[in-house]
């Protein structure tokens, strides 16, 4: 199982990528039944060096997904349960005085891992939430004036309950913008739920999950994704798509340039996962909804009409013409 491809190869081949990704997917899906699309998106975000926001009601397997991903890759995983009294230092780590060495010593927090699962992130105070921002964007932690770099790959998988639930602090726009994509788990199909009862009733499948890829492998995959070709028309198409959100009367706030960047990156990952070494508009269309929707603010009228940003994005994708010119 622990097949180790030539990780020193600087030019990772696309076939290896597809193969490895397939293994990871299979591993996760052995734990999470009937959520192929969600798993695929999660992988896409991982390969796009992004962070994932999973939003849904409690108990649909958000944490399970994050853990399964973490376990299937042989890498350090930390989990932070966000609560209203959680402090920033609880996330990033503290400098503690060492009696023996008589020096301050940095005790790394849970953020120092390849995959960080932030559970119920919207239950933490805004102060703690923002502590996460620097780490996510800059891949580094600064404590007491000292900067500590984070390992690669670094991915934050945050879960949150819908804002309407009690005792939550909604994530500010700036922080939402830092997540590459937001997905919703959704309830499982009756058949999948039935199967889950069988499997989970007997044992804990998560514990039986063996890692199927190494950190080095994932790093190589990420490297491979970076080489996926994005032609000029496709770039223009991405810009058009994002720009369309900024001029839409249904939206109060359009997507940021960072969104464009994330969109193209995840489209690259999407293309690579499909075994293609170039991005096509379909990749962008596929990724537009998870990448863009959570960054948009509906206008007052749209809110009145109960038009969600998801709807608006779907409409835009169906309206912006696909580039023809070469």
Partner 1 sequence: MRLPVAAGLATAAVTTTLYPLFDGGAWLWASMGAILVTTLVGTAATRLAAPAWVATVVMPFALLAYVTAAFAASDAWLWFIPTPGSVARLAALIGSGFDDIQRYAAPVPTHDGIVLLTVIGVGLIALLADLCAVRLRRAALAGLPLLALFTVPAAVLTEAIGWIAFVLAASGYTGLLVADGRERLSRWGSAVVVRRSRSTGKTAPRPDTGRLALSGKRIGVGAIALAILVPALLPALSPAPLFQFGVGNGLGGGSRNIGIPDAIAKLSGELSQQSNATVLTYSSSDDQPRYLRIYSLDVFDGVKWTSSGLRGRPQDRVSEGPLPPPPGLSVSAPAGWAQTTISISDDVGPLRFLPLPYPPERIQVDGDWRADQSTLVVFSTQDEAAGLEYRVVTKEPRLTPEQLTASPPRPDGERRFLDLPDALDPRVEALARRVAEGASSPYEKAVKLQEWFTKTGGFTYSLDASGSGARALARFVLQTRSGYCEQFASAMAAMARMLGIPARVAIGYTGGTKIGDVWTVRTHDAHAWPELYFEGVGWLRFEPTPSGAAGQGTAQAPAYSLPVVRTASPTAGPTPEATSTSDDSADAARSARRDSRAFDRDLGAVPVVADPGLTVAAKVGIGAAAVLLLALVPGVARLLTRVRRRRLVSRGSSGTEAAWRELCDTLTDFGMARRPEESPRALGRRLTERYELDARTAASLTRIVTAEERLRYAASPAADGPVPADLAGVRRGLAAGVSRARRIGAVIAPMSTLLRIGAAGERGLDLFDRLEGLRLWPARRSAAGGPALNRSALDGSALDGSARNGSALTGSTVNNAGNTSTVEGPAGRTEGARR
Among 279, 287, 292, 293, binds partner 1 (CB under 8 A): 279
Least Å distance between CB 300 and partner 1? 7
**CB closer to partner 1 out of 163 and 297:** 297
Least Å distance between CB 315 and partner 1? 10
**CB closer to partner 1 out of 119 and 286:** 286
Q: Does 304 bind partner 1 (CB under 8 A)?
A: no
According to DSSP, the residues that pair with 54 across neighbouring strands are 159, 183
- With contact defined as beta carbons under 8 Å apart, do 73 and 215 qualify? yes
Phi, psi of 106 (to 5 degrees): -85, 125
For residue 319, how many other CB atoms are within 10 A of its CB? 10
Among 269, 280, 288, 312, binds partner 1 (CB under 8 A): 280
Q: Does 156 bind partner 1 (CB under 8 A)?
A: no
Question: Among the candidate windows 18-26, 81-89, 174-182, 315-323, which touches partner 1 by CB under 8 A?
Answer: 315-323
Question: Among the candidate windows 83-91, 144-152, 210-218, 313-321, which touches partner 1 by CB under 8 A?
Answer: 313-321
DSSP letter for each residue of 179-247: SSEEE---PPPHHHHHHHHHHHHH--HHHHPPP-EEHHHHHHHHHHHHT-B--HHHHHHHHHHHHHHHT
Least Å distance between CB 272 and partner 1? 13
Structure tokens at 272: 């690579």
- Closest to 160 (Cα-Cα) out of 91, 38, 58: 58
Binders in 230-269 for partner 1, by CB under 8 A: 231, 233-234, 240, 243-244, 246-249, 251-254
- In the complex, the residues that contact partner 1 under the rule CB under 8 A are 229, 231, 233-234, 240, 243-244, 246-249, 251-254, 277-282, 285, 297, 299-300, 316-324, 326
């Amino acid at each position: 199982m622990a097949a180790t491809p030539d990780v020193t190869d600087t030019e990772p081949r696309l076939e290896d990528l597809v193969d490895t990704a397939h293994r990871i997917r299979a591993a996760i899906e052995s734990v999470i039944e009937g959520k192929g699309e969600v798993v695929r998106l999660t992988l896409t975000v991982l390969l796009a060096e992004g962070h994932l926001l999973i939003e849904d009601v409690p108990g649909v397997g958000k944490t399970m997904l994050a853990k399964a991903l973490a376990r299937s890759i042989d890498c350090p995983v930390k989990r932070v349960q966000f609560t209203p009294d959680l402090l920033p230092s609880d996330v990033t780590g503290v400098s503690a005085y060492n009696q023996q060495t008589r020096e301050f010593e940095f005790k790394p927090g849970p953020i120092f891992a390849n995959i960080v699962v932030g559970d119920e992130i919207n239950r933490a105070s805004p102060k703690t939430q923002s502590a996460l921002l620097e780490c996510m964007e800059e891949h580094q932690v600064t404590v007491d004036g000292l900067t500590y770099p984070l390992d690669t790959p670094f991915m934050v998988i945050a879960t949150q309950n819908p804002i309407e639930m009690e005792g939550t602090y909604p994530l500010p726009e700036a922080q939402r913008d830092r997540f590459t994509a937001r997905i919703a788990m959704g309830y499982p199909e009756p058949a999948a739920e039935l199967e889950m009862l069988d499997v989970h009733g007997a044992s804990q499948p998560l514990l039986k999950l063996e890692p199927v890829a190494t950190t080095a492998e994932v790093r190589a995959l990420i490297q491979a994704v970076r080489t996926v070709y994005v032609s000029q028309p496709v770039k223009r198409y991405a810009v058009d798509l994002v720009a369309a959100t900024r001029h839409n009367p249904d939206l109060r706030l359009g997507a940021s340039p960072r969104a464009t960047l994330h969109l193209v990156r995840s489209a690259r990952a999407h293309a690579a996962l499909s075994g293609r070494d170039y991005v096509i508009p379909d990749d962008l269309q596929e990724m537009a909804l998870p990448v863009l929707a959570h960054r948009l603010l509906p206008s007052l009228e749209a809110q009145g009409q109960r038009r969600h940003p998801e709807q608006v994005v779907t409409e835009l994708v169906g309206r912006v013409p696909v580039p023809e010119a070469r």
